[in-house]
Structure 1
Amino acid sequence: MKWTLAILTIGGALVYAQNPMLLRWDKAAPFPEPEEELYGIETGGKMYVIGGFSENGKPAPAMVYEYDPGPDKWTKKKPVPVPVHHQAQARLNGKIYIFGGCQRPLSGPGMGGWQPVNNSWEYDPVADSWRALAPMPISRCSAIAEEVGGKIYVIGGATIMENSGEVALFGNRPARVLGTNQVYDPATNTWANRSPMPTTRNHAFSGVVNGKIYVIGGRLGAAHVTASSNTDVVEEYDPARDLWGAVRSRMPTPRSGGGWGTYNGRIYVAGGEGQHERANFSFRALEAYEPATNRWIVLPSMPTARHGAAGAFIGNKFHLVSGKPEGGGLPDLAGKGLPVHDVLEIPASFGTN
């Protein structure tokens, strides 16, 4: 079947998938430990779901689950050695790299807040083992990490305000939101600074297409949704030239804290959260950014609105796992997360003429 797109808005910057009912969400094995603030990544034909938020008074679960699509089965693995939430992660040569995140202080002045760390870890899925790496030059959480050319770029995030006397981030006050761009070289276990991202933000989405990194949306002003606002800005970074380009076509639905994955030259952005003076909410939106044409494609919405879900592609199937239906900062009326595991198959010819 040939798939086409119908351009509906000025300049072709936004298109809608034609016959969207032909793109159908299916179900896979439910997630064993429903949570929010989960992050997904694929390697070796399997999806790894890492993280979790937990409750006040408890450390973050820092869980690791492996999903094998063959038997449609989840297997629990060894957790991240230091329990954090809102970590950045990337893959390289079959290994998974974890950077930063926030801990939950269980006592003292930081209790109830988020305490950024600078830990770096390498996870070997085959051996189910962790190895400590050179720490990041700056402690931060809610950054993004992407691999290009054998090196991993950690961009953005949030940390404690300078000279504030604070020891953690809290939901009722601003944070130091970062444009910091630092590159990790696994071959030498070293860090180096690169050109900072023009739009400081955290809780963003990201992807790599044709050797360039795209940072999409995210959160301004603070790490918590309750003290921040969302942005629709899309920025392109060229690691080869250490150069940020002009702002690209803005995302149709400004949001932060969702799931994402990259397939066939497009970056798929799902769910997320936001707030305004009368509401705090999660999104159902699924949209894909195509850098080659600098346009957005609106796809069939997720079956259930949620934020903090883990996203990743296994082949041409986009997996979206767990997440919280309420917006952050709201009571957990439906528990910490939903066990749902939604899958959307994207035909390789989708959007071609």
Structure 2
Amino acid sequence: MKKGFLSSILFLVFSLFFSMNFAFAAGDTWVDKANMLTPEAKLSAATVNGKIYTFGSSAGTIQEYDPTLNSWTSKGSFPTNVWAQTGLSFQGLIYFLNNTNKVVAYDPVANTWTEKSTTPFTGGVTACAVLNNKIYYSYVWAGFLQEYDPVSNSWAQKADIPIETKDGASLAAANNKLYLVGGHDRYGNSHKQLLEYDPGTNVWTQKTSMNFARSGLTVQTVNNHILAIGGLSGAAQYTNAVEEYDPITNTWTIRSSLHHARHFLASATVGTKIYVMGGWDNPQGVATVYNEEYTADISVPTLPSNLSASGANSQINLTWDSVVSAASYSIKRSTTAGGPYTTIASDVTGTTYTDSAVTNGTTYYYVVTAVNAGGESGNSNEASATPTAPTVPVASGRALVVITLVNGLEKEYDLSMTEVNAFITWYNGRAEGTGSEVYAFNKTYNLSKFLSRKDYIAFSKIETFEVSEYEVATP
């Protein structure tokens, strides 16, 4: 009986363990890289031109890391009134807040600081992120969310965070939305919370919580997925846990753990690699020099769907549904159903494409693939279309053609529709640079002793013309 009871307990433990979404897949790996020059914690990290710059509260240093050379360079120190944890990069500069409620920008190339703006609110900022060329700041405890436009140097207050803003939370951007991750309450209890903010609707929404509660964590977005890294899970309980959030499925997946558990660490992304550096790893608040590189497990995107093609004059227009994990699309074409296909365009970032290298009357067959750092998807459904020249109206009845010349004079002609179409064909051709400069209208009335009468109109003298078709009365 004891043996059966023990078996039941083991079964429950294993069931709980495997009910979590684990995915230690190929590419989901951490590698130790060159240590920082100086230990730092409560720091920020930002990428500019392929290099990472760190700004630490412990020693107040600026350190530059070159991932290609795996080496660090000291860039000196930064102003003492700058909040080190508020650093983020935007268009070649690294923006910070300081304790005098100013936005200041650091230029890593010139190694200079510039004051940009005054913030409309006072108080500590718990997290910040860039989304759609705007910088967002969440204010600890107060629940404010502020939007700063670095281009216009202006501010806008957004919807308040609907729950008590947690200290030690992090903010990330993915899927054109913001995500406030983790943090701790006033009593030091870490939380698993995840809140989503939609700038389009100015609305916050509670989403699926993390598997592990933590504060003082760092977050990064790769391939439109958010990775929550490290942090403090409880009193003096430093964690090396890493988990990945998919905004589309609203699910978390546990990833390979950091080699060194720590909190108040920083991270930055170069390409598809994440670099995590610094932080505290002990209750005494001693900063570390650790630097780890993460290679994400980026899956090949799903194939695009609902590809459609429509033909027009000398062009074919394509549309398809967006693939969330796609970085770009490739367009492939054939003149035979089923292929083989030739790539006619790559690095297409939208979900529409116009193919102008086509011949009217020929049927073309298309497929589209989605591409990201993980590779290229399979082909979408095939769509076909045939470009067609505009149809010339069938001659029927007659029309009055009134031509207005550039000098304001009007010329009126009563023509058959065959004659009207001939005139329009000449006009269109001349507009494209072909055909005679003048057009002759035959006058069949008042011939008297003349064999024929012709009225010659020069293309360059025509301002506009009007065609008024009418039915010919039958006797």
- Does TM, scored on the shorter chain, surpass 0.5? yes
* Letter of the 1:64 counterpart: I
Alpha-carbon contact 1:13-1:295 (below 8 Å) kept: no
Alignment of 1:102-251 (within 5 A): 117-157=100-140, 177-199=141-163, 200-221=165-186, 227-244=187-204, 246-251=205-210
Cross-structure match for 1:26 = 31
| Counterpart-to-counterpart distance in 2, 1:64 and 1:156 | 25
1:345 positional shift: 0.9
| Counterpart-to-counterpart distance in 2, 1:146 and 1:85 | 15
> Which protein has the larger Cα radius of gyration, Structure 1 or Structure 2?
2
Identity %: 29
Cross-structure match for 1:66 = 64
2:287 is equivalent to residue 337 of structure 1: yes
Alignment of 1:273-312 (within 5 A): 273-275=232-234, 279-312=235-268
Alignment of 1:24-63 (within 5 A): 24-53=29-58, 61-63=59-61
Cross-structure match for 2:214 = 255
Cross-structure match for 2:9 = none
| Counterpart-to-counterpart distance in 2, 1:76 and 1:142 | 27
The gaps in structure 1 that reach 5 residues or longer are: 1-7, 54-60, 101-115, 158-176, 222-226
Cross-structure match for 1:56 = none
Please give the TM-score of this superposition, normalised by the length of structure 2. 0.56
| Counterpart-to-counterpart distance in 2, 1:148 and 1:337 | 30
| Counterpart-to-counterpart distance in 1, 2:199 and 2:25 | 38
Alpha-carbon contact 2:212-2:233 (below 8 Å) kept: no
Aligned length, in residue pairs: 288
Cross-structure match for 1:317 = 273
The gaps in structure 2 that reach 5 residues or longer are: 1-13, 303-376, 378-475
1:96 to 94, 97, 121: 94
Deviations 1:299-323 (A, max 9, x none): 1111111111111221121111121
TM-aligned CA distance change 1:48 to 1:185, over 3 Å: same
2:16 is equivalent to residue 16 of structure 1: no
Please give the TM-score of this superposition, normalised by the length of structure 1. 0.75
2:298 is equivalent to residue 348 of structure 1: yes
TM-aligned CA distance change 1:268 to 1:17, over 3 Å: same
Say which SS state the counterpart of residue 143 (structure 1) adopts: strand
* Letter of the 2:36 counterpart: F
| Counterpart-to-counterpart distance in 2, 1:267 and 1:273 | 18
Q: Which has the higher helix share?
A: 2
Alpha-carbon contact 1:117-1:140 (below 8 Å) kept: no
| Counterpart-to-counterpart distance in 2, 1:198 and 1:62 | 34
1:228 positional shift: 2.1
* Letter of the 1:234 counterpart: L
* Letter of the 1:211 counterpart: N
CA RMSD of aligned residues (A): 2.6
Say which SS state the counterpart of residue 87 (structure 1) adopts: helix
Alpha-carbon contact 2:263-2:279 (below 8 Å) kept: yes
Alpha-carbon contact 2:82-2:97 (below 8 Å) kept: no
Alpha-carbon contact 1:232-1:251 (below 8 Å) kept: yes
